[in-house]
Amino acid sequence: MSPRRNRVPPHLRAVYQLIRKYPGVSNSRIVEMMKGDERVIDYISEELLAVSMLTELRNMVAENNAPSIVSRSLEIHDRMARAGLGDGFRYIVRSVEHGDYIGVKDIQNELQRYSNSFQKKFNARLATISHEYVEINKVYQEWLRLRYISNPIVQKNLSNNPALAEW
């Protein structure tokens, strides 16, 4: 175990791991997803505590008391949050993990954001950010592959031409 890792307290490590997996996720979702985590059981119960934990993590990075990967994760998290993609991207990550495609319209319904331009903006912003960050691009490309495979026309033709399954 590296000596630097020992400097990051368990509750901050839990936050870091969460934002690394789901960059840009909102504070309310952080609270929701961290309930039951023994590292933060008494520490996080409301959004204000999530904000303070993120601030504490940022201070550790600013003081060079955290590994560079924590800094990178915060950078990606902030970029995704500024673009408004965090909570939606969480569904994409889960979609890729489970191997089941979930579309932008489904994400829109889950988030209860009923804007006519949501899908267009979501796709455009995600494509832009995926070019900036390799970590986002990997998940994005896998999600696009799932979208391709889930296309009914592709599925119909898979039996005739198995090469279509190759991305």
Please say whether the beta carbons of 165 and 158 come within 8 A.
Answer: yes
Please give the residue that has the higher pLDDT: either 90 or 11. Answer: 90
Give pLDDT tens digits for 120-157.
Answer: 999 999 999 999 999 999 999 999 999 888 877 776 77
- Residue 85, pLDDT above cutoff 50: yes
**How much is the average pLDDT of 15-21?**
90
From CA 149, how far away is CA 13, in angstroms rounded?
36
Give pLDDT tens digits for 115-125.
Answer: 888 889 999 99
The Cα diameter of the chain in Å comes to 59
Half-sphere exposure of 90 (CA within 13 A, CB side): 20
From CA 85, how far away is CA 92, in angstroms rounded?
10
- Give the pLDDT score at 7: 74
Separation of first and last alpha carbons in the chain: 38
In the chain, domain spans: 1-83, 89-167
From CA 136, how far away is CA 89, in angstroms rounded?
9
Token pair, residue 143, equals 């999600």
- The mean pLDDT of the chain is 84
Burial grade of 11 (CB within 10 A; 0-12, 13-18, 19 or more)? buried
Cα dihedral across residues 20, 21, 25, 31: positive or negative: negative
- Give the pLDDT score at 156: 73
Which run of H or of E encompasses 79? helix 68-83
- Give the pLDDT score at 163: 64
- Chain-centroid distance, C-alpha 128: 15
Please say whether the beta carbons of 11 and 79 come within 8 A.
Answer: no
pTM: 0.82
